[in-house]
Amino acid sequence: MNAADRGQTVEVDVGECRCPGAPHTSDKINLRARPNTTMRFALLQAINEASEDTNILTGEMVSLYLRLGPVSWNISNGNGSPVPIDDLADSLGLDREIIVANKASDLYTEAILGPLAPSVSSSPEPTQEEPLTSPSSMTEPSSERSSRKRRARSG
């Protein structure tokens, strides 16, 4: 059984403590070791809504990972309490958000999207199919198609 199976977390050190009063040496965030169901569905919804705009999708993924990935952190608000999850990203700053988002992407993206990607090796071999019906054969009455086929054979 690996760490993800036991519900463990992955610690991400985002650098020197920036908390008021510097109560610890470095700021750390513990991310869930693998994506949960909420994260899976939220990412799939973001993919659907982003359509083909990869910039929007990337922003949605970062926001999702920063909101749903952390399970604990030592970043405090100055009174000894951890900042609320809704304020965590703002407390980090862009440079540190990127560190957390990259680690979260390593942990979650393949786990969520991997099973959805078609496997090249398991693709079925192409098959020879019957020719498709032409549009004209679908609009002309069957008696006219039969007459035309007989003329073509006897011709």
- Condensed to tens digits (0 to 9), the pLDDT of residues 40-70 reads 899 888 888 877 788 888 888 888 999 999 9
Question: What 8-state DSSP symbol labels residue 129?
Answer: -
81 C-beta neighbours (distance < 10 Å), count:
8
Q: What does the alpha-carbon distance between residue 99 and residue 14 come to, in Å, rounded to a whole number?
A: 7
pTM comes to 0.67
10-40 tens-digit pLDDT: 999 999 999 888 888 999 999 999 999 999 8
